[in-house]
Structure 1
Amino acid sequence: MYKFFKRPIDFILALIATVILLPLLLPLMITLRLTGEGEIFYLQHRVGKDGRPFELLKFATMLKNSPNIGSGTITLQNDPRVLPFGRFLRKTKINELPQIFNVLKGDIAIVGPRPQTPECFGYFPEDLKQEIMKLRPGITGIGSVVFRDEEAIIGASDKDYSECYSEIMAHKAELEVWYAKNLSFLLDIKLIIATALVILHSKADVSKMFKGIPDMPESMKV
């Protein structure tokens, strides 16, 4: 039943959030215009519901040509392509705020499987992709919360970043499928609270809030 009301609820909440956040968004836009490469927004190709492609809106935090440099669309710990002000935006997740407009448009939800670039989506196990694509992606979700230290995990691994990322995505896919099977209004509220907690304190252990989620392999814990 909740699935039928999720989209209207998301639209109303996104509309309210846009009005509330406008005083914050405007100064950030001016700062971005005056710093770095002068870019305010960054549009990135993502895989949406039913596999439909869409453009995800973010504040610009990296060099313009970053997808064609180094590790491509995979961001590493202390990635040199990240601009100084962009590092702050990424750490606080403020760079994600423009996605509220994607919610209004209907590309994504507030909570759902995190939308991936086509390259990153390719790392998902084939048998889980179809389940993930049944849902509208979200600004935040169980995969984003559990793997909030994704860059640190890759940085601490002795494996090649592509191999390490492949393992991360396999587990992240399991988490997103778990979310799809347990979708509820209460779960979405818990994930919003968990997102706020890990933003305020990156080491906060929020996994206990979610009973039955797939356990993270020891090799991925930092």
Structure 2
Amino acid sequence: MYQKFIKRFLDFILSLLGIVILSPLLLIIALLIKLTSPGPVFFRQERTGKDNVPFRIFKFRTMRIDTPKDVPTHLLENPDQYITKIGKFLRRTSLDELPQLFNILCGDMAVVGPRPSLLNQYDLNALRDQNGASSVRPGLTGLAQISGRDELPIPVKARLDGEYARHITFKEDVRIFFGTIGSVANEEGIQEGKNE
């Protein structure tokens, strides 16, 4: 009942409220990006959605326009050379993810679920298929995000995503939601560049 009906209803209401309440902040961030670096305000990219159906994710642009395409930041040799000044702050505080409220509103994403992967992250996507994580909407945050985020090896991340997909409850979503606030505040699990 919760997973099929209530979760989507709550996602819609929460994303709509988030957009309305945070609209001044969204506007300020958009202006700062536009004034401090050339290029668009938003970064759009194809990601893997529910049942492996691709969708276009929205983020605030945090990197220069000459950054290599479709490469996860943690796999770049020297990501600092590509991240803009305002981008560094947005990434550290996860404010760059706020435009995904629109993805949630239109039903491509949920507030809580496995983070949407790149289409070319074949190893992660294959493991998510095996673990059943591909059968749910990707989320703004998820179990892997409060359990280590970028520092997690891919098999562990996929296992956590599958664990969440098999046990979706209101209580778990609330726990992950508030756990995310703590993780972001403490800047836990953020990794920029290759982990040697």
Instruction: Indicate the TM-score class for this superposition, using the shorter chain for normalisation.
Output: 0.7 to 0.9
Q: For residues 81 and 125 of structure 1, what CA distance do their matches in structure 2 show?
A: 26
2:11–2:110 Cα contact (<8 Å) kept:
yes
Q: CA RMSD in A?
A: 2.0
**Secondary structure in 1 matching 2:43:** strand
Compute the TM-score of the two structures, normalised by the length of structure 2: 0.87
Q: For residues 203 and 43 of structure 1, what CA distance do their matches in structure 2 show?
A: 25
Larger Rg: 1 or 2? 1
**Secondary structure in 2 matching 1:37:** coil
Give the CA deviation at 1:75: 1.0
Aligned length in residues = 185
With 100-109 and 167-176 compared, the bigger mean Cα shift is at 167-176
Are 2:166 and 1:168 equivalent residues in the alignment? no
In the alignment, structure 2 segments of 5+ residues that lack a partner are 190-194
Matches within 5 A, 1:1-222: 1-4=1-4, 5-68=6-69, 73-76=71-74, 79=79, 80-120=81-121, 122-124=122-124, 126=126, 128-129=128-129, 131-148=132-149, 150=150, 153=151, 168-203=153-188
Q: For residues 38 and 140 of structure 2, what CA distance do their matches in structure 1 show?
A: 25
Q: For residues 96 and 181 of structure 2, what CA distance do their matches in structure 1 show?
A: 15
2:62–2:88 Cα contact (<8 Å) kept:
yes
Compute the TM-score of the two structures, normalised by the length of structure 1: 0.78
* 4+ aligned runs moved over 6 Å, structure 1: none
With 97-106 and 1-10 compared, the bigger mean Cα shift is at 1-10
In the alignment, structure 1 segments of 5+ residues that lack a partner are 154-166, 205-219
% same residue: 37
